[in-house]
Structure formats: structure tokens, C-alpha cells
Amino acid sequence: MILKKNYLLVCISIFSFFGSYSQDYTDFDKSMISLAEEVAKRIKSKNKLKVAIWDFTDSYKRVNALGNYIREDFSIHFTNASEGLEVINRENLNMIFKEHQLNEEGFINPATAKQLGMLDAADAIIIGTIDKGLHNLRLRIKIINTESGLHFAAALRNLPIDENIKVILEQTGTLQPKKKIIETKRVNSNEKYNDASLTNKKCELLKTGDYCFKNTTNSTYLIDLRGVNNRVKKSINIGKIQDACFYDLPEGNYEYSMYKNGIRALLQDIKGSFRIEKCKSLTYKI
């Protein structure tokens, strides 16, 4: 009787552990689990029992950190969903390639699929492409028959971007971290209209104006300018207690980044914006 009670307690503990663990799944994890189950079901319906999981690349067939991360997660969820299937992961495939002195590539074509099938007796190979969209990741899964080298099934998912994915995207430069803006300067009392007659004589026809910066400090500045409504991109350097101007700018809105001591440094820029009016000249005092 005591043994039965102990066994029951163990079972309850295990159930509680996995139950609490599943509650930690993000929407990304749940989408991956659903996808893995769908792929496993399609492979079983084709009576393919031994499955190899290959690289997940981007659309340009490049292997990267994001693809490796997605592949590893998919491999775990697919293994859990693949009862009755034998799963070969990427590490096993690496060993096979080394043993047979073959050249590894981040993609599979019909010839290499057949060759891999002969080497490890795999019935099917899972490949994937992963790309970052505007609000999510786009994952495409294809399953290759190693006898013919042709695809016999596929699946598609839009995966939400969770905090773990954000870290990877930031580390690889795919997703830029939010910039800390030190100071934002827009049209205010520091702006002063200059003599309009100093602008280009053809400003009416060209629809242009000028914008100047008056440096009243003992620091030098580098200013990068970008047009919001046009393709204008310019830069100027301003010395200590000096003036510098952007001449003949097409009318419209502009944004700028100003770097103290003339050095472009990440997150160290002072941002601002202004509007160019036709045949008008403005000066902003730093």
C-alpha cells in the first residue's frame, strides 16, 4: 500500500512538473509545437519512418544564428511529436559528412538528397527557410523524398517574435535596439530667420531654401542631414564658435543627427528636425 502511494506521488510530481513547464511556453513556442505536429503527421501519412532535419536558412540559402535557433527548437518539438519515427539531427549529419569526406552546404538539391538518403538510409529530409517580416518571422518547411529528391509535403507559419528571438535579431543586427535619444531639438526659439535676399536667386523656380547652424560652444560638431520627403543626404562639420549652412535644400521636412566633437558614435547623437520654406533662410543656434 505504501509503495502504491509513493508511486502515485511520483506520478503527480512528474505531471505537475511538465504541467508547469508547459505554462512557460510563449506564443512562439506554441506555434512551433503546432507546426512540428503538423509536419510529423504529414510525414507519417507518407510512411516515411526515418527523417533527417537539415539546416534552416534564409531566402538566400545562407545559414545564420536565427536559422540555427529555429532549427534546434523545431528539432525538439518534432522529436516529441514524431512517435514511431526515427529522427536524425544536424549533429548526426555532420558526422556522416565527415566520415565520407563530403562538402557540406546550407541547402539540399535533388542529387544531394538522394546521396544523403543512401548514406544514412533516411526516407525524408526536412529543410526550412526563415525570414524576418514586419511583425513576425516567416518559416517555410519543405519535406524531401530521398528516393526522388523531390518535395512531397510543405508547411508554412508566421511565428511571433518573442524576447529570445529579439535578442538574436539584435545580436545579428537584423533588429536594431531602440536608440536612446539624448536630446531632441525641433523648431523653437533657437531658430531665427535670416535675410531672405541671401538665398539662391532661382529659389522660386527651384523651390529651395537654406538652413544654417550657429555653433556658440567650444565643441566641434558633425551634422548628418536626411530629407523626409526626398532623397537628400548631406553632412557638414562645424568648428568652435563658427557657422555652417546647408544651401539650396528642396522645400520640405528634414531630420538631422548631430555628433559632438565630430565623431559618429552609436547612441551618442543629438537628433532634431526642421522645415525648409521656399526662398527662406533659417539659422539654428547650438
**pLDDT tens per residue, range 70-85:** 999 999 999 999 888 9
What is this structure's pTM? 0.53
Which residues, in sequence order, are CB contacts of 238 under 8 Å at separation 6+?
A: 213, 215, 220, 221, 222, 223, 244, 286
Please tell me which residue, 141 or 16, carries the higher pLDDT value. 141
In the chain, residues under CATH classification 3.40.50.10610 are 25-171
pLDDT, mean over the chain:
82
Cell (9 digits) for 82: 514524431
Give all strands of the β-sheet with 270-276 in edge-to-edge order: 184-185, 270-276, 252-260, 221-227, 233-238
**pLDDT tens per residue, range 13-25:** 444 444 444 557 8
Level-2 CATH architecture, domain 184-285? Sandwich (2.60)
Q: What would the CATH number be for the domain defined by 25-171?
A: 3.40.50.10610
In the chain, residues under CATH classification 2.60.40.1120 are 184-285
Please tell me which residue, 8 or 253, carries the higher pLDDT value. 253
pLDDT at 3 over 90: no
**pLDDT tens per residue, range 144-156:** 998 888 899 999 9
